[in-house]
Each structure stands twice: as C-alpha cells, then as structure tokens.
Amino acid sequence: MVSGPVRSPRHRVRRRRLSIPTILAAAMIVVTVGVTAWAGATSQSPSPALADSAVEGIAVAQETVAVPSPTPTPVPAAPAPAPVAGTYSTAPGTGPAVGAGGDLVQYRVDVEDVVGISPVEFAAAVDTVTADPRGWTGDGARRLQRTEVAPLRIVLASPATVDQLCAPLNTAGKYSCRNGNDVVINADRWNVGVPHFQPLDQYRIYVINHELGHALGNPHEPCPGSGQVAPVMLQQTIGLDGCTPNPWP
C-alpha cells in the first residue's frame, strides 16, 4: 500500500477550526448585504401598482368627503316706513255708474295714511252708500261713479288734517266738512260716532250722505219739529234739535 506523508492529527484539527468560521462569516456577509439591498429597494422605490393604489385611495376619499355649506346669516327685513300725516292712498279701480239717470258725477276715495284704515275698506263703505236708492241717486237727478282719478274726492283723514283741509271752516278737531271739491270725513267720528246717533254703522251712512250732499249743492236744513225725522242735511253730529236720527236724504 502506497501512502503519502502522514500529517499529524493536531495539524488536521487546526485546519478544520479555521475553515468553519471563515465560511460562516462569509455567509453572514452575503445574507446581510442581500437583506440590506432588498430593504433599501423596497423603502425607496415602491412598485407602481402600490403607489397608484395609494393615490387612488386618497382621491376617492377626497371625493366622498362632504364639505358642509356655510349657513347663511339671516338678514332682518327693513322696517316699513312710518306713515306720514298729509299723505294719502287712493282706493284702486273703477266702480259701476249707479243711479237711474241724470248727469254722471265721478268721485275718488282717498285715505290719509296715518289713520290705519284700508282705502279699499273705506271705499267699499262709500260705494255701498252711493249705490243705495235711498241715497242721492234715488230721485234720478244724477248718477254716481267711483274712479281713481276725479276732481271730487271723498277723504278720510285724522282730526288735525281735517282742520287743515276744511279751513277756514272751523272743525275744531271734532267735525267733518265739505270744502271745495273735498268731502272730508273725520276719522275720529268714523271710528266712534257720536253718543246721540247710534248705531255706529248708521252714523257712518249719515256723515257720508251729509257731506256729499253739500258737494252736490245742498245746504243745511233745520229740524222740522220735535219728534220728526231729521233731514239728512241737519247737522246731526252737533245735535238733533228734537228730531230723530236719520242717515238718508
């Protein structure tokens, strides 16, 4: 048997101990380098698919977030201007001509703004009186019609304004009048009447017929006798002089 040089066991053991640490160290270096490279690549360069998914997710979230609209601050309405004495509102529209015949007399209805009564309401009361056959159209001498524009006007006004419109007649803040083309009704009398002429709705008919009667050319009349029906042209607002109240001509 041919044999080569014989190495001592000690020499062989020393060689084996040197080779194992070297191999392990080399393996550790390779693993460490690979892990580091992989971690750096994944942290610095995410895949396009992952990046796109993240961006899309943000976009969707932004689209679905509802942004509440700011609640508008309510703006208080401007207060209505206070009515002014001496300004008037005219009842709108034109009524039918009433009466059996005769000349047509047109009138308009105005209400002073401060009295707090609707021109439509007051005009309706006037129209009812002028259309009644017991009134100034009953004798066939004339017809009456309310329009928005007419020289003759029937005015409901405050006591102070009545005094101005009726001057130089002295209405003393208490009475109504006819002055020129103005038939002027005192709002205090319209609202409460007078104690000796009741009910109020009958007094209102009287005061319209009395002052309109002046505009149609009729003067004052006296009471014909105690207990008799008062002529409509008697100054019944001041007193009855023994007559009984009467609102019609």
**For position 43, what pLDDT does the model report?**
45
CA distance 118 to 111: 7
**For position 75, what pLDDT does the model report?**
78
**Are the beta carbons of 177 and 162 closer than 8 angstroms?**
yes
**For position 74, what pLDDT does the model report?**
78
Among 92, 133, 84, CA closest to 249: 133
- Hey, what are 248's tokens? 């019609």
What is each CA distance from 243 to 201, 222, 234, in whole angstroms? 19, 9, 9
H helix runs in the chain, sequence order: 9-44, 48-64, 119-131, 159-166, 187-192, 200-215
Q: What are phi and psi of 163, to 5 degrees?
A: -60, -40
**Are the beta carbons of 231 and 221 closer than 8 angstroms?**
yes
Domain ranges of the chain: 88-215
- The CATH code belonging to domain 88-215 is 3.40.390
**Are the beta carbons of 210 and 233 closer than 8 angstroms?**
yes
User: Pairing between strand 177-179 and 182-186?
Assistant: antiparallel
**For position 244, what pLDDT does the model report?**
98
DSSP state of 63: H
Per-residue pLDDT tens digits of the chain, which is 249 residues long: 334 444 444 444 444 444 544 444 444 444 344 434 434 444 444 444 434 434 444 444 445 556 667 777 777 777 767 887 889 999 999 999 999 999 999 999 999 999 999 999 999 999 999 999 999 999 999 999 999 999 999 999 999 999 999 999 999 999 999 999 999 999 999 999 999 999 999 999 999 999 999 999 999 999 999 999 999 999 999 999 999 999 999
Segment 95-116, tens digit of pLDDT:
999 999 999 999 999 999 999 9
